[in-house]
């Protein structure tokens, strides 16, 4: 059994040790891991414009990206890999509302330049190292 003084030293020592570990891991994540995994050096002007278009049209009001957003419409983190550039541009440039499987997407009617910027944004997101997120569906569940 620990005395009061020993318990206090044990508690303070453990708190200090784990606080230092936490700070060290946080520093390493912010300075090394995150920029490398997100390909921060590959952010172009087109990627930035695509992100602004994503934000200004409130796409997160329906879609999720990197696990954040609403769950009404599909997760778009790997949409570039799943659907490809032509499909994405067709949907974004459509003058008529897009309604796959009964869910209607707003007809944004973006210009080709704006659609290209959004595609570049999705391409950049697609190339991030997300440690397996989002998980690929099981082969048994695919039609």
- Domain assignments of the chain as residue spans, ordered by start: 1-37, 42-136
- Residues 123-141 have pLDDT tens digits of 999 998 887 787 776 665 5
Residue 75 DSSP one-character state: B
42-136: CATH superfamily: Cytochrome c-like domain (1.10.760.10)
- Which residues neighbour 31 within 8 Å (Cβ) at sequence distance 6 or greater? none
Provide the pLDDT for residue 138: 67
Provide the pLDDT for residue 141: 55
Provide the pLDDT for residue 125: 94
10-15: long-range pairs with CB below 8 Å, 24+:
none
Q: Which residues, given as ranges, of the chain have pLDDT below 70?
A: 137-143
Short-list 53, 6, 29, 20, CA closest to 129: 29
Whats the size of the chain, residue-wise? 143
């Amino acid at each position: 059994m620990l005395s009061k003084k020993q318990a206090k030293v044990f508690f303070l020592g453990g708190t200090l040790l784990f606080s230092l570990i936490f700070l060290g891991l946080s520093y390493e994540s912010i300075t090394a891991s995150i920029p490398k995994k997100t390909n921060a050096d590959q952010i172009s002007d087109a990627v930035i414009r695509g992100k602004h278009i994503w934000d200004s049209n409130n796409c997160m009001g329906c879609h999720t990206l990197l696990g954040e957003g609403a769950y009404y419409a599909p997760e778009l983190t790997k949409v570039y890999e799943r659907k490809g550039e032509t499909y994405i541009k067709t949907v974004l440039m459509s003058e008529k509302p897009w309604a796959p499987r009964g869910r209607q997407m707003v007809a944004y009617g973006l210009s080709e330049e704006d659609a290209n910027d959004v595609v570049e944004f999705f391409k950049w997101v697609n190339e991030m190292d997300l440690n397996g997120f989002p998980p690929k569906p099981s082969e048994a569940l695919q039609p």
